[in-house]
Amino acid sequence: MLPLHAFILILMGRYSSRLYVAYSTYYALGTLASMQIPFVGFMPVRTSEHMAALGIFGLLQLIAFTQFVRSLLPSRQFTLLLRVFLIAVFVASLGALVVLTLTGTIAPWTGRFYSLWDTGYAKIHIPIIASVSEHQPTPWPSYFFDLSWLIWLFPGGVWLCFRRLGDEHVFVIVYAVMASYFSGVMVRLMLTLTPVVCVCGGIVVSDVLSTYLDARRPVVEESKDATGRQRKASGETAVSDGTNGMTTSGEMGC
């Protein structure tokens, strides 16, 4: 989700040094940390499922390099150099990926990966995966029984994210769309949908409370009458009686 989020921000023209530093740090440290697990090993750099994250990391390095070159060259020369450079890098990267996949250095996509995108793939090619109960498509009642009343707040939270549309809101929208699709493919992937449903529900509740609930402490105004005594404005006003000089209280607004 994080590489997809970074890629969408780039397409939206929201590239910044903050995005470059955040994703580069995340990818470098996260990949090195995951490779310390014996079961994982070199899988993050030798499987096709992880190539998208590596590609976004390389794309950010290219964008940062072009931003640096732009500050040194005139605009006309920079445009020509940028086109040649991007075409050359794209062709070289695609060719290297194809060669490494054909030679077996990078493992191809597995059957479970294909079954996430094509719901009928496992039934035809890998029946043992389709035979597991938690790999079955999610029935509609599961959404209502598992998510309870948050299922009604989930669309409202996504709509509020579209209204504000900051960088963090883009991530919530992307997460909501992808998790909604994958949760319908397998029952067990409802676990991936639950966090974003809770986040969107919290956004809706927070927006409603901030709109209709005023948590500020009321300020009590004090006034003095003719005798110098303090009288609190608690919904009553003093009305002077012109005959005997005494005061009688009447309700405000009468």
Nearest CA among 161, 184, 180 for reference residue 171: 161
Q: What confidence tier does 39 reach under pLDDT thresholds 50, 70, 90? A: confident
Helices H / strands E in the chain, number of each:
12, 4
Angle at 6 between CA 207 and CA 153, to 5 degrees: 25
Tell me the average pLDDT across 36-41: 87
In this prediction the pTM is 0.70
Tell me the average pLDDT across 213-236: 60
pLDDT at 234 over 50: no
Instruction: Give the C-alpha separation, 178 to 171, whole Å.
Output: 11
Question: Which residue has tokens 């950010």?
Answer: 60
Q: Exposure of 145 by Cβ count < 10 A (0-12 exposed, 13-18 middle, 19+ buried)?
A: exposed
Tell me the average pLDDT across 63-87: 76
CA 65 to chain CA centroid, nearest Å: 27
The 10s digit of each residue's pLDDT in 151-187 is 999 999 999 999 988 899 999 999 999 999 888 888 8
Instruction: Give Cβ neighbours of residue 23 (< 8 Å, ≥ 6 apart).
Output: 2, 3, 6, 56, 57, 60
